Amino acid sequence: MSAFHPPLRPTPSHGSPVMTPRTITPLGMRAVDVQTLPFPLTDAEITAQVRVALQEDQAFNDVSTVATVVSTSHVRSAIVARGSGVIAGVPLAVEAFRQLDHAVTIRVDAYDGTRVKAGDVVMHLSGQARGMLSAERTALNYLQHLSGIATLTARFVDAVAGTSAQILDTRKTTPGWRALEKYAVRAGGGTNHRMDLRSGVLIKDNHLAAIGGDIAMAVSRARGLAVSGTAIEVECDTLEQVDAAIAAGADWVLLDNMSLEQLREAVARCRGRVITEASGGVTLDSVRRIADTGVDRISVGALTHSAPAFDLGLDFDGL
C-alpha cells in the first residue's frame, strides 16, 4: 500500500505559481490519506493534466458562477454515486478542486478500486462555492469516465470468477489517455495487455499477410529483434496457425474470433506449451462460456472504447 500525496499546486491567480505541499485534509471524524492503487501519473503530471482540462473548460473564467455567486460564499458538498460500480480517478478530481480553491477541505471516503452502491459518498468537500462550482464538471468528467471503465471491467471479472481466465484490456484507448484508461482497468480488477507497440510483440494477421503468412519467419525475426525475455504472441484465426505458432516457438497465441469448439481444441493443443488468449467480440453474455473453454486470458476492447460513464453527482448540502 502506497501513500497518496496530492501534487504541488499552483495558485489560481494569473501570476507566478506558489508551490505548497498538499494533503487530503481531514473533515469530520474520518480522514483517508492513502491511495491503495499506484497512480500512473507523477505529481507534476497530475497538476499539468488537470490544469489543461480546467483551461479547456475556461474554469478560471466561469461567467455563470461569478455572476451569480458571491466570492465569500462557502458551501459543503459531496460527490455521490447514483448506482453500483467501482471508483477510479479520485486523484484527478481532488486536483481539480484544489486548483480552483487551494484551501478547500476534502475527505475521501472511496478511493480508486473501491466498490460503491447508490447513495455512497465518494468524497466530502467544504470550501468556496465559486471554486467548487467551477471545478465540478472537470472533476466529474474524470471520475465518471474512469469509473465507467473500472465498473465495466469489474463486471467482466465477476463474470469469469471461479475460472482460470484473466480479463485483459487492449490498445483501443482514447489518444492521450492510455495510461489513465489502463489504470482504470486495473482499478476494476482487470489486467493490462501491452501498453504500447514497443512493450511487447504481437504478430497480427496483417503482419503475416505482409510476409506471405510465414509464422515461423515472423516469430524468428521477432525473437532476434526483441529484448531478451519479451513474450512473442501470434494472432491465429485457425487451428493450423495455432500448430504453426507452437512449432515456431511462440510464447502466446491470440485465438481470434474462434468458436467455442475451436477454442477448446486450441486450448488442448496449447496446454502446458503456450499461453492462450481469446479475443474478438467478447461480451458480458459470452465471456463466461469463453472462460469455461480453459483459455488463460480473454481480451476485451470494449473495456476502454465502449464503457459507459458511471453516474456520479455533486450534491450541495448546506452553507
Q: Which of 204, 271, 273, 289 is catalytic?
A: 204
Cell digits of residue 274: 503456450
Cell digits of residue 289: 462460456
Q: Which of 172, 221, 269, 288 is catalytic?
A: 172
CA angle 72, 70, 21 (to 5 degrees): 45
Neighbours of 216 (CB within 10 A): 13
- Amino acid letter at 91? P
204 carries an active-site annotation? yes
Q: Residue 30 class from Cβ within 10 Å (0-12 exposed, 13-18 middle, 19+ buried)?
A: exposed
172 carries an active-site annotation? yes
Q: Which of 137, 171, 223, 264 is catalytic?
A: 137
Q: Measured between alpha carbons, how far is 215 from 173 in angstroms, rounded to an integer?
A: 28
Candidates 93, 99, 89; CA nearest to 124 is 93
CA angle 305, 310, 314 (to 5 degrees): 140
235 carries an active-site annotation? yes
- 300 backbone dihedrals φ, ψ, rounded to 5°: -135, 105
82 carries an active-site annotation? no
CB contact set of 62 (below 8 Å; sequence gap of 6+) = 130, 133, 134
Q: Which residues pair with 86 in a beta bridge?
A: 115
Q: Measured between alpha carbons, how far is 244 from 246 in angstroms, rounded to an integer?
A: 5
Tell me, letter by letter, the H, E, C secondary structure of 194-222. CCCCCCCEEECHHHHHHCCCCHHHHHHHH
265 carries an active-site annotation? no
Q: Which of 112, 235, 277, 296 is catalytic?
A: 235
Q: Residue 56 class from Cβ within 10 Å (0-12 exposed, 13-18 middle, 19+ buried)?
A: exposed
Q: Which of 112, 256, 277, 296 is catalytic?
A: 256
CB contact set of 164 (below 8 Å; sequence gap of 6+) = 291, 294, 296
Catalytic residues: 137, 172, 204, 235, 256
